[in-house]
Amino acid sequence: MTLEEKIGQMTQADQEHIRNLADIENLFLGSILSGGQSDPKEGNSLQAWTNLYDRLQQHTAKTRLKIPLLYGIDAVHGHNNVLGAVIFPHNIGLGCTRNPALVEKLERVTAEEVRASGIQWAFAPCVTVPQDARWGRTYEGFSEDPELVRQFAEAAVRGLQGSDLGNPLSVLACAKHFAGDGGTAWGSARVPIGLGLDQGDTRVDEATLRRIHLPGYIVAITAGVGTIMPSYSSWNGVKASGSKRLLTEILKQELGFQGFLISDYNAIDQVDRDYKKAIEISINAGMDMGMVPKRYREYVDDLKQLVREGRVPMARIDDAVTRILRVKFAMGLLDPKRSQLADRSLAKTFGSAEHRQVAREAVRQSLVLLKNSHRVLPLSKTAARIHVAGKNADDIGNQCGGWTIDWQGRSGPVTPGGATVLAAIKKAVPPTTPVTFSRDGTGAAGATVGVVVIGERPYAEGSGDRADLSLAPEDVAAVDNLKSAGIPVVVILISGRPMILGGVLDKADAFLAAWLPGTEGDGIADVLFGAYKPTGKLSFAWPRSMEQYPRAKDTNPLFAYGFGLTY
Ligand code: BGC
Ligand code: BGC
């Protein structure tokens, strides 16, 4: 291979920033991604995505070596950028299932839906171990407990990659963000994103880093994970994306990682003020492929010069390219007998009832019952009237959270299919049981029971950093309004993390933590009406007040890690 061909393999551009598709062949690009907002120009349908994938892939046929592209996307809870995909609960809820086998199964479904669009690489699983729920990425973690993360990391990698990466229904997995992304100190972020937890500095000694933040990677490697994404965050002041200690000495040499490292979105830019210097540091530290969404030309030119100037050794380039091609080989991308275009027959099962059933099962098992006075739950399907309330009762976008259709997620009917909590309740009861709804909880007098669905609105990454996790005044008001009707009140909290409940817990007769359940609200109705008895256990300790941060779990929490009632 020529130097240009090698550097091309080490380059990942974002399709939305490729102005001329001939760049794919002219620069020998090895990979393309779609970032959180990078949809096909024709829209978000499966067909539009599949056409986009095929169009880009066809360009590689024009190169001398005809090495196919790896196309990567954030399929972090189902194929979540695509309209009509099944959206699974975010990882925080999956951690509460304590059921890694179920997660392996649902990642098989995700892999199949991703493959339906032709895409062969998911930037998942996120094996972060969030230590401070004020962080906007808390919900991307299975648990604050490294042991639980370890179990789910292994299951998720096995689910996505299947038993053989070469299987056309397998998807290349990516454990992220290496290492310590969930351990940053408040206010430590150098870039003014969020409030300074996201992309910040993890100030712990090496023993602590290893104990809390590495177990997920160790099992992911054993399970054969093909890629790992170094973090935006720093470890004791050194950016992970430029740390030779982390990337080469620990990950590759000590842990024996044989796959390749993909940088986070523009993360190399943060390694040094001078871009060329940043590339030098990062590649020499062990980065194998740059996620360089927009600056890919500059990156290619700079890296070429760095090699010519002897600042990046040819041996490092060869190591990176060998790693990338080994993964492509294992995936069957280099098999000339195999078409690399999308398998359009997979459209049949995309978003299918069968796939939704797996998500519904995950939702049921992810719910954690925190309170159930006077056996309010399960509800009777033949109640005289059920009054439903709250801003999250009839909002599939809020139910799905961030990384759903849009990077940040969005309120409202963001995707077809599935059911909101309100719709699911209506479906679950016979037509003779009236279900009424008011967003603010008024008009409930005379109902047998009130169900109020409150909580967060979607966010992703640093914009979800919060100094205060108290419930919103409108949520508290909705609970108060139901309560003043003199009926039993069931509170369902939709949130990416434990919230400070204040007086709401006392007012609630029953309280269910539903996390970010995704599209299948039917799983919530299953628990409300007793078709499924709750089994979920907290994957995070639940604090009483903000004063307990950052060490919520060590300070007499409201509900301990592992808590969860049943009936
Ligand atoms: C992209 C996301 C990316 C983020 C990083 C957004 O514009 O759409 O994919 O994660 O930028 O800052
Ligand atoms: C996020 C990653 C994601 C990448 C690509 C970044 O901003 O930190 O988790 O995989 O964008 O969208």
pLDDT per position as a tens digit, 78-90: 999 999 999 999 9
pLDDT of the residue at 74: 99
List the single range of 133-137, 296-300, 546-550 with lowest mean pLDDT: 546-550
Q: What is the pLDDT of residues 258-271, one digit of tens each?
A: 999 999 999 999 99
pLDDT of the residue at 189: 87
Mean per-residue pLDDT over the chain, rounded: 97
Give residues with Cβ within 8 angstroms of 240, minimum separation 6. 177, 178, 179, 180, 181, 230, 231, 232, 233, 234, 246, 247
Residue 377 CA, ligand 2 centroid: distance in Å: 40
Please work out whether the CB of residue 71 comes within 6 Å of at least one atom of ligand 1: no
Residue 188: both structure tokens together: 């430590």
pLDDT of the residue at 196: 83
Please work out whether the CB of residue 36 comes within 6 Å of at least one atom of ligand 1: yes
| Helix ranges (DSSP H) in 432-546 | 473-483, 504-507, 522-528
Q: Is the pLDDT of residue 191 over 70?
A: no
pLDDT of the residue at 396: 98
| Beta-ladder partners of 520 | 419
Q: How confident is the model at residue 227 (pLDDT cuts 50, 70, 90)?
A: very high
Please work out whether the CB of residue 407 comes within 6 Å of at least one atom of ligand 1: yes
Residue 306: both structure tokens together: 């760095």
Ligand 2 residue neighbourhood (C-beta within 6 Å) = 35-36, 74, 123, 176, 264-265, 461
Note whether 485 and 217 are within 8 A (CB): no
pTM over 0.95: yes
Residues labelled catalytic = 264, 461
Amino acid at 320: A
Amino acid at 219: V
Q: How confident is the model at residue 136 (pLDDT cuts 50, 70, 90)?
A: very high
pLDDT of the residue at 564: 98
List the single range of 89-98, 128-137, 145-154, 190-199 with lowest mean pLDDT: 190-199
In Å, what is the CA distance from 549 to each residue of 95, 544, 563? 21, 10, 19
Q: What is the pLDDT of residues 306-333, one digit of tens each?
A: 999 999 999 999 999 999 999 999 999 9
Gyration radius of the chain's alpha carbons: 24
Q: How confident is the model at residue 194 (pLDDT cuts 50, 70, 90)?
A: low
pLDDT of the residue at 555: 83
Amino acid at 227: T
Q: How confident is the model at residue 551 (pLDDT cuts 50, 70, 90)?
A: confident
Measured distance CA(412)–CA(404) in Å, rounded: 11
Atom of ligand 1 nearest to the CA of 38: 8
Note whether 514 and 97 are within 8 A (CB): no
Q: How confident is the model at residue 561 (pLDDT cuts 50, 70, 90)?
A: very high
The secondary structure element, H or E, covering residue 455 is strand 449-455
Q: Is the pLDDT of residue 335 over 70?
A: yes
Please work out whether the CB of residue 37 comes within 6 Å of at least one atom of ligand 1: yes
Q: What is the pLDDT of residues 495-542, one digit of tens each?
A: 999 999 999 999 999 999 999 999 999 999 999 999 999 999 999 999
Residue 474: both structure tokens together: 């409108």
Measured distance CA(275)–CA(268) in Å, rounded: 8
End-to-end alpha-carbon separation of the chain, Å? 64
Concatenated DSSP letters of 80-141: TTSTTPPPPPPHHHHHHHT-HHHHHHHHHHHHHHHHHTT--EE---B----S-TTSTTGGGS
pLDDT of the residue at 451: 99
- Average pLDDT for 554-563: 93
Q: Which residue among 17, 37, 74, 408 has the greatest number of ligand 2 atoms within 8 angstroms of its CB, and so is best to mutate?
A: 74
Q: Is the pLDDT of residue 193 over 80?
A: no
Q: What is the pLDDT of residues 430-472, one digit of tens each?
A: 999 999 999 999 999 999 999 999 999 999 999 999 999 999 9
List the single range of 128-142, 169-183, 319-333, 550-564 with lowest mean pLDDT: 550-564
Measured distance CA(223)–CA(156) in Å, rounded: 10
Q: What is the pLDDT of residues 409-431, one digit of tens each?
A: 999 999 999 999 999 999 999 99
Burial of 147 (0-12, 13-18, 19+ CB in 10 A): exposed
pLDDT of the residue at 26: 98
